[in-house]
Amino acid sequence: MSAEENPDALQVQGLTKSYGAVVAVDDVTTSIKHGERRAVIGPNGAGKSTLFALVAGTLRPTHGRVLLDGRDVTRLRDHQRARKGLVKTFQHSSVFTAMTLLDNVLLATQRTTGVAARPFGRGSQVAIDRAHAALEQVGLADRAGIVAGMLSHGERRQLEVALALGVSPQVLLLDEPTAGMSASETERFVELLGSLSRDMTVLIIEHDLEVVFSVADRVSVMHLGAILEEGTPAQIRGSELVQRTYLGIGPESADAGVGA
């Protein structure tokens, strides 16, 4: 591969985060191709969210690099990476509860239509249209005028995706999006994920293995801060090493249950 050709949407090289003697993320190296859906699974405390935080830039690594589309973004802060298209959602639902859904997504679309900092006026119609489109895509178009605080948990997760879509992400990091969702909400969410354009690369931390197997192209299994194994969902399902590790940790991680 020549240097100019960079098929990888996201690369992490030797990414490490340690707090004194505790190593939360241990020398993680992996590459994710454009348009890929990569699931990151592993028991609690495996370092998945920390990894996401390092990738998104809300945490500074102790060692290692993060490359977005071949460019080293390790030095960039979280909001700068977001401007470059690296967008993370939050483990605990994080929307603007006092604002309407439309206003929520407008905050996102405003930013990408360049009017975010305008100190006068109403913002652009383009931004409003894009906000409606994003809400449409996640299936919340008819509730645009409702205050976000009134949404159900699953709907808030949908709104989060709409927020992320509003800034036209290139790489989308979803941190346990289906946690706390009912079976039908999860199903709807999986459909939503399936409908996302392949122009976008998606990384998803998930505990719900059914979601993983429905959505993911490849799976990275994390354990004690390091990547234990990587492969297709089928490969991972059949991997003895993974089974041993999971069974050794506890039964709840092997559950392919639907969260609720």
Partner 1 sequence: MKWSFAGNRLTPTLTVSAVVVLAILPLVGLSAYNVTILTDFLAYALLAMSINLVAGHAGLLTMAHPAYAGVAAYAVVLLSLHVTQDGVLQLLAALVAGAAAAAATGWITARATKVYFLMLSLAIGEILYVIAVQWRPVTHGSDGLSTYSGMEFFGSGPVVLSGFIYWAALIVFAVLALATVVLTRSPFGSALRGIRDNEARMRSLGYPTARYKYFGWVFSGAVAGGAGWLLVAQQPRLVSPDDMSFQMAGLLLLAVVIGGTGSMWGSCLGAGVLVVMNEVVSQHLNGNGPLVLGIIFVVAVYALPKGIAGIRFRRAERSGGTHTPPGPPEDPTPSGHVEQKREVEAS
Q: Which residue from 2, 119, 197, 240 is in contact with partner 1, where contact means CB under 8 A?
A: 119
Rule CB under 8 A: say whether 116 interacts with partner 1.
yes
Residue 202: strand pairing partners: 37, 172
Interacting positions 3-62 with partner 1 (CB under 8 A): 24, 44-50, 53, 56, 58-60
Q: How far apart are CA 125 and CA 129, in angstroms?
A: 6
- Residue 225: CB atoms within 10 A of its CB come to 23
Q: Which residue from 88, 156, 188, 223 is in contact with partner 1, where contact means CB under 8 A?
A: 88
Rule CB under 8 A: say whether 94 interacts with partner 1.
yes
Q: Which amino acid is at 34?
A: H
Closest separation in Å from C-beta 244 to partner 1: 22
Place of tokens 């679309």: 109
Which residue, 6 or 170, is less far from partner 1 as judged by CB?
Answer: 170
Closest separation in Å from C-beta 1 to partner 1: 30
Rule CB under 8 A: say whether 244 interacts with partner 1.
no
- Residue from 172, 169, 168, 150 nearest 95 by CA: 150
Closest separation in Å from C-beta 219 to partner 1: 18
DSSP code string of 210-221: HHHHHH-SEEEE
Q: Which residue from 2, 4, 5, 122 is in contact with partner 1, where contact means CB under 8 A?
A: 122
Alpha helix segments (H runs only) across the chain: 48-56, 78-83, 101-112, 125-138, 153-166, 183-195, 209-215, 233-238, 240-249, 251-254
Q: Which residue from 39, 41, 167, 202 is in contact with partner 1, where contact means CB under 8 A?
A: 167
CB 176 within 8 A of CB 153: no
Closest separation in Å from C-beta 38 to partner 1: 17
Rule CB under 8 A: say whether 144 interacts with partner 1.
yes
Decide: residue 68, CB within 10 A, 0-12 exposed, 13-18 middle, 19+ buried: buried
Note the residues at the interface with partner 1 (CB under 8 A): 24, 44-50, 53, 56, 58-60, 78-80, 82-83, 87-91, 94-100, 102-103, 106-108, 110-112, 115-123, 128, 144-147, 163, 166-167
